[in-house]
Structure formats: C-alpha cells, structure tokens
DNA sequence: CTGAATCCGCGCGGATACTG
DNA sequence: CAGTATCCGCGCGGATTCAG
C-alpha cells in the first residue's frame, strides 16, 4: 500500500498532524502527561517558561483535538487533572521515532546551519 | 534505553524537529522530493496554493537545515534542482509512522472536535 | 525559469492584571 | 488552585512587483 516513500498528497495529511501538536508547548505538555495524569500547577512548574494563559490555551486545544482528557474534581480548593487519551498514547511510538532521528542528527544539522550561515555572511 | 514513554525533557527536543519541518509547506515539499529531485517550477505546480516567495523561503530554510540540497546548472534558461539529503531520507520512516497514526485517528479526532465545539457553542 | 524586494494582515505567544 | 480578560509585539505567510 505504501512503498516506504512519502507520497505527494500525504504531505498535506502530515500537516494535519502538525496542526494538532504543532503548538509551541503542546509536545512538552504531552511529554509530561505521558508520565501519568498531571494537575495544572504541576504542568506549570514542570514547563519552565510557559505562562498560565498559554498553558491553558494549549491544554484546551489538546482537549479539543481529543488528545487530552480534562477532569474537574469539585472540591475546595479546586483540583483539575489532565491526562492523555488513548489516541494520544498511540502517538508515543511515532514521536519516539522522531526523537531517535533528532538525537542522531542534531549535531550534523547544527553544524550544517553554522556552515550555511557562514557562507552567507 | 527507553521505556516507550516520552520523557519530560524530550518534549523540548521534539520541538527542535518541528522547528526544522514545521513550516507550512515544508512537509509537502519533502513529500515531493521523496520521489526524487525536482525543479523549482515542478514543485510550484505540484504544491497548489503556495506562492513563489514562500516556496523559495521554505526551500532555503530546508537547505539551511541540511534537509535539502540545491544544485544550480549554469545554463540558459537557468535550471535548479532540489533533492533530499541523506539526513532527510532517514526522516521518511518516522514521518510514515506519523502518517499511519493520522490515517487511523483522523476521523475520530474530527468527530471529537465537532462534539467539543458543539458543547461549547 | 528562478528567484529577490516590498508591503501588509493575521495569529500566536508573552506580560500583566483580575476572578470563582 | 485554576483559570479568564486585555493588550501588544513579532513573525509568518500571502499578494504583488521587479530582476538576473
């Protein structure tokens, strides 16, 4: 069904995936949630650099795309937990494949970039 | 070496990959190039909707990140060919994994989105 | 044919302040 | 604790025009 190459039309299908997890903090959030359910403030602490608002928006969008489940516990003080959906869990493998690629080529890419920038000084 | 989950810190590493191919048209371009070298105008025709400028910028950025090789043939009229680098070829597999996920969950995600939007009308 | 230059609008992300 | 509301700057992408 597939020859191992990425057919032309599928380039667009791949973009759909990026539109799901392409937010600046989406992958970092999912990485956190892959370790189990997390509270809002836990995520906020773990992801140094993210603002409350952006974290909120990111979670909302992930929830909208069925990648994250939001559970509110009616207590005082309020408690809200986020966890990955089964759909999102199946993303782990593909993502790890990308991760492997990254760790293998990160250095080369960085060096190539330096060379490129140097050539076009 | 890895437990199948995505460790927290690696969320940021994954973002680096997205920064490489996260351009709106980058994946579509790579998909085209995975079928072999292509000329600028060929890409322009294949990717309906992209402007010359954006295509040019996209290619330049891919080239900077060592994902695309640019070859100029000193002829009249000028001819320029783009092709994937070995690094980029190794991205095919991870990308196909993502593609598989997409085709498997596309419908569910879309439906979930409708439900979400409906609930928050 | 293959770009580069300019202009412009929109969306995303960050900072800050307020609320149930 | 877990958000929402408002403002704002910047970068990306699109349209158009000019050039080697």
Nucleotide nearest to A40 (CA to C1'): D2
Q: Whole-angstrom Cα distance, residue B72 to residue B31?
A: 21
Nucleotide nearest to B82 (CA to C1'): C2
Q: Whole-angstrom Cα distance, residue A59 to residue A111?
A: 35
- Residue B8: list chain A partners with CB under 8 A: 28, 31-32, 35, 46
| pLDDT, mean over chain B | 92
**Number of alpha helices (DSSP H) and beta strands (DSSP E) in chain A:** 6, 3
Best mutation target among A95, A106, A108 (most B Cβ atoms within 10 Å) is: A95
Q: What is the pLDDT along chain A (121 residues), one digit of tens a residue?
A: 545 555 667 788 899 999 999 999 999 999 999 999 999 999 999 999 999 999 999 999 999 999 999 999 999 899 999 999 999 999 999 999 999 999 999 999 999 999 999 998 7
Q: Is the pLDDT of residue B10 over 70?
A: yes
- Residue B93: list chain A partners with CB under 8 A: 4, 97
How close does chain B come to A11, measured CA to CA in Å? 4
Picking from B35, B105, B116, the nearest residue to A87 by CB comes out as: B105
Q: Is the pLDDT of residue B11 over 70?
A: yes
Calculate the CA B31 to chain-centre distance. Answer: 7
Contact B64/A117 with Cβ under 8 angstroms?
yes
- Which B residues 52-71 touch A at CB under 8 Å? 63-66
Tens digits of residue pLDDT in B76-112 = 899 999 999 999 999 999 999 999 999 999 999 999 9
Apex CA B28: angle with CA B24 and CA B29, to 5°?
A: 100
Give chain B's length.
Answer: 121
Contact B6 A90 (CB under 8 A): no
Binned at pLDDT 50, 70 and 90, residue B67 comes out as: very high
**Chain D nucleotides reached by a protein CB under 7 Å:** 1-6, 12-17, 20
Best mutation target among B109, B111, B115, B120 (most A Cβ atoms within 10 Å) is: B109
Give chain A's length.
Answer: 121
């Amino acid at each position: 069904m597939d020859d191992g190459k990425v057919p032309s039309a599928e380039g667009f299908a791949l973009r759909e995936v990026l539109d799901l997890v392409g937010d600046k903090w989406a992958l970092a959030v999912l990485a956190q949630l892959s370790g189990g359910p997390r509270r809002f403030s836990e995520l906020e602490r773990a992801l140094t650099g993210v603002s409350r608002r952006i974290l909120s928006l990111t979670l909302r969008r992930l929830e909208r795309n069925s990648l994250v489940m939001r559970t509110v516990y009616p207590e005082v003080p309020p408690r809200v937990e986020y966890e990955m959906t089964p759909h999102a869990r199946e993303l782990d493998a593909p993502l790890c494949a990308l991760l492997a690629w990254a760790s293998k080529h990160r250095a080369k890419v960085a060096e190539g970039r330096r060379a490129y920038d140097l050539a076009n000084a």
